Amino acid sequence: MTPLYWLAWSASRLVFRNLFRCRVYHPERVPTAGPVILAANHESYFDPPLVGSSLPRPVNYLAREDLFSHRLSGPFLRGLNSVPVDRKGSGASGLKGILRRLLNGDAILIFPEGTRSHNGTMQPPQTGIGLTILKSHAPVVPVRVWTYKAFGRHRKIPRPAVIAVKFGHPLPFNSVRNQAKNCPRTEWRTLYQKVTNETMTAIANLQPVMDAD
pLDDT score at 91: 58
The continuous run of DSSP H or E covering 161 comes out as: none
Tell me the residue type at 139. Answer: P
pLDDT digits (tens, 9 = 90+) for 126-155: 878 898 999 999 999 999 999 999 999 999
SS3 state at 82: strand
Whether 166 shows a pLDDT value over 60: the answer reads yes
CA 22 centroid distance within chain: 18
Q: Which domains does the chain have, with CATH numbers?
A: 3-204 (3.40.1130.10)
CA distance 126 to 107: 20
Mean of pLDDT over the chain: 91
Report pLDDT digits (tens) over 26-78. 999 999 999 999 999 999 999 999 999 999 999 999 888 877 778 788 888 88
**Which residues are CB-contacts of 43 (< 8 A; sequence separation ≥ 6)?**
116, 117, 120, 145, 146, 147, 148, 152
pLDDT of res. 87: 58
Query: What is the value of pTM for the model shown?
Result: 0.93
